[in-house]
Amino acid sequence: MEMFPPIEPIQVGLLPVGDGHQLYWDVSGNPSGPAVLFVHGGPGAGTQPTYRRFFDPAFWKIVLVDQRGCGRSLPEASIVANTTPHLVADLEALRLHLGIERWLLFGGSWGSTLALAYGQAFPQHCLGFVLRGVFLFSIPEIEWFMTGMGHFFPEAGRRFATFLPPAERTTPLAAWQKRLNDPDPLIHLSAARAWCAYEEACARIIPRPDDGLPVGPGVLSMARIEAHYMANDGFLTPNQLLDGMEAIRHLPAIIVQGRYDVICPPVTAFELARVWPEALLRILPNAGHAAMEPPLRSALIEAVEQMKAVVID
């Protein structure tokens, strides 16, 4: 399926949520329709106007929000009071601010993690879930990101590993954190560009010509916040999301997973579906991680279209 036409927001705001943070949010589409919340990835990525185009604007009330430190939220790239419980509370504060009773959660990668964490905390306010590239923030998943992806993208893996001097490679995540949090822009921006270039290079089944090259705005928030969460195991207890599935098993869910997703390998989506047998798992044989790859993009739009029948009932 093709994406819906570009649209502009009908409401925009900054929501103060404490600790000095203000969250950028916008609403577009049908103001009286069922609500859908786009939960962006990273942690640290932020939203883009293109993300509204996954949803039929004649049907859905479309909500985008930039999480703490991300995108147009303030302060940029801040890791102060930035944890999963904070972000869950922020989404609930936004729901109350917008006067939404229940909403569909649409999240990929880290967005799937946060959507599940929010859903398990507030199941009564969820219509259902559309998830992509499932990530549960287990220690093996973090280790895979740091070293395993290089088995499939060795050029990118080598650039990532050798960015650090030999003396720092025995504890790479701590070394990356130190550099990303250094006050000197020459140090933290060069580290952020290297971190994000590594992830970009591994994101698609067919890499783009510029994958692995320095990337644009938002690199610091993406890299700094992502490393912050990885160093703290996502601020989740071991198996927290799998153990908490009883809270949301009754809610409809569609899981869309690229077979060749190197960043979030399909074994995690398979494990989630094992403890959530009511969910529909679709593994795409010709897709990687990036939501904008044509097979994933089309499957995600189809999944949201399927959810129309659920929310109408």
Clarify whether 313 is annotated catalytic.
no
What distance in Å separates the CA atoms of residue 84 and residue 305, rounded to the nearest whole number? Answer: 29
HSE toward the beta carbon, residue 53, CA cutoff 13 A = 14
CA angle (218, 219, 223) in 5-degree steps: 125
Which residue in 78, 109, 112, 138 is the catalytic one? 109
109 is annotated as an active-site residue: yes
Q: Is 289 a catalytic residue?
A: yes
DSSP conformation letters of the chain: -PPPPP---SEEEEEEEETTEEEEEEEEE-TTSPEEEEE--TTTT---GGGGGGS-TTT-EEEEEPPTTSTTSBSTT--TT-SHHHHHHHHHHHHHHHT-S-EEEEEETHHHHHHHHHHHH-GGGEEEEEEES-----HHHHHHHHHGGGGT-HHHHHHHHHHS-GGGTTSHHHHHHHHHT-S-HHHHHHHHHHHHHHHHHTS-SS--TTTTS---TTHHHHHHHHHHHHHTGGG--TTHHHHTGGGTTTS-EEEEEETT-SSS-HHHHHHHHHH-TTSEEEEETT--S-TTSHHHHHHHHHHHHHHHHHHH-
214-230: b (≥16 Cβ within 10 Å) or e = ebeebbbbbbbbbbbbb
Structure tokens at 303: 């999944």
Q: Which residues are catalytic?
A: 109, 261, 289
